[in-house]
Amino acid sequence: MDFVPEASRTTPISWLCHDDFDRQRMLEMEERIRPVRRRAAIIMALAILAASPWLGWWPLGFVVTIMGGFAAADLMMPKLARPELLMFGAWVGSVLTIAIAVALSGPHGTGALPLLAIPVLTLSSRFSTRGVIVGVSISVALAFAVGFGRDTHTVLANPVLLIIPVALILCAAVLSTPLMESDIKHRSAAVIDQLTGMLNRHALALRVQELTEQAAVTGEPIGLIVGDIDRFKAVNDTYGHPVGDAVLKDVAYVLRKQLRAFDLAYRLGGEEFLVLLPGADLQSAEELAERLREAVCTDPLGPGVSLSMSFGVSLSARGATFDYASELARADAALYEAKREGRDRVCVATDARSPVPA
């Protein structure tokens, strides 16, 4: 079985995010953009104050509306399976708010149309190419709607009033796209396990930090499933390391096929894998681990190699602080118990602490 990159095997999580890596990148970028967005709001507020003799004070309300929309989105995102949809909605709301403010600005409003290019600068940093195309299309459509809707005669007499804002919107998207592609390339190299295509330990550390913060807000439990291929050393010894690598790729694929869009799978190293289950309960986590075990046993792996896996399951307490190290130790203890009981089985965590045999 030839290895196919992880992202190409699964149906896109949403039209904005192709895979878990896209979503994680969006969430990380939102953390970075948030303080910058506040500074931009301060700059806009100062500009409105400076222009108040001509525009009045009321445009300040639109700045507050935009910031309030993003603040509400930031609070709700940890509770959603597809936070990118909410964030894109907040982005569309910001562009629409700017368009309304420009439309209501009187005879001086048409000259403020270039402001629609500002939100476009953040599109590429958050969303895939689809999101950029849709966002740019919305911005251009609003520029035409405001330009012709506000003062058709003036725009027809001086098309530059519309040509320049549209050109700025397109340039903002075009110039920011290479930065996005470079960011994706370097982040992918940093967080993707090159053998299996799964997320690696670096990506896991980032996700654990995020889930810890989310759990502090929502109080939702987080499940951990740790899986280890049984007697994998015998595969390498019998068939050679190239076959062992092929088996690892195929196991990663089989595991990923069983997961929901927002269940994140990681390769911890060697033949050990981890699945994080935000918002899960113990029964559903155990049932998923059982499905993973059965899938590995029944799907063809490598050139005619039959394998089994053992799994350990743990779940953090609802309303408690998520302690990843503690939960991982509990899941590892459950995995050890599964190995000790004969392998090819699922065990739920106890308080035992023991090393895991092969």
pLDDT digit string (tens) for the chain, length 358 residues = 332 333 333 334 678 877 666 776 777 778 778 888 999 999 999 988 898 887 788 889 999 999 999 999 888 886 777 888 999 999 999 999 999 998 887 666 677 889 999 999 888 878 888 899 999 999 999 999 998 988 788 888 889 989 999 999 999 999 887 766 656 555 555 678 888 888 888 889 888 988 898 888 888 999 999 999 999 999 888 888 888 998 999 999 899 888 876 678 899 989 999 999 988 899 999 999 999 999 998 876 666 678 899 999 999 999 888 999 999 999 999 999 999 999 999 999 975 334 445 5
CA distances from 72 to 66, 67, 77, 78 (A): 10, 9, 9, 11
Half-sphere exposure of 202 (CA within 13 A, CB side): 11
Catalytic residue among 28, 30, 84, 271: 271
Domain boundaries, the chain: 6-191, 201-348
Number of neighbouring beta carbons within 10 Å of residue 193: 20
pTM for the complete prediction?
Answer: 0.58
pLDDT on residue 169: 95
pLDDT on residue 5: 33
From CA 27, how far away is CA 89, in angstroms rounded? 15
Collect all residues with Cβ–Cβ distance below 8 Å to 31 and sequence separation of at least 6.
none
From CA 35, how far away is CA 197, in angstroms rounded? 32
Kind and range of the H or E run holding 283 = helix 282-298
pLDDT on residue 104: 87
CA dihedral angle for residue 169, residue 12, residue 269, residue 243, rounded to 10 degrees: -120
- Catalytic, 271? Answer yes
Instruction: Write the class of the CATH domain 201-348.
Output: alpha beta
CA distances from 351 to 124, 221, 282, 333 (A): 46, 18, 15, 7
From CA 185, how far away is CA 131, in angstroms rounded? 18
DSSP string across 194-257:
TTT-SB-HHHHHHHHHHHHHHHHHH---EEEEEEEETTHHHHHHHH-HHHHHHHHHHHHHHHHH
Sign of the dihedral defined by the CA atoms of residues 99, 103, 106, 107, in that order: positive
pLDDT on residue 356: 46
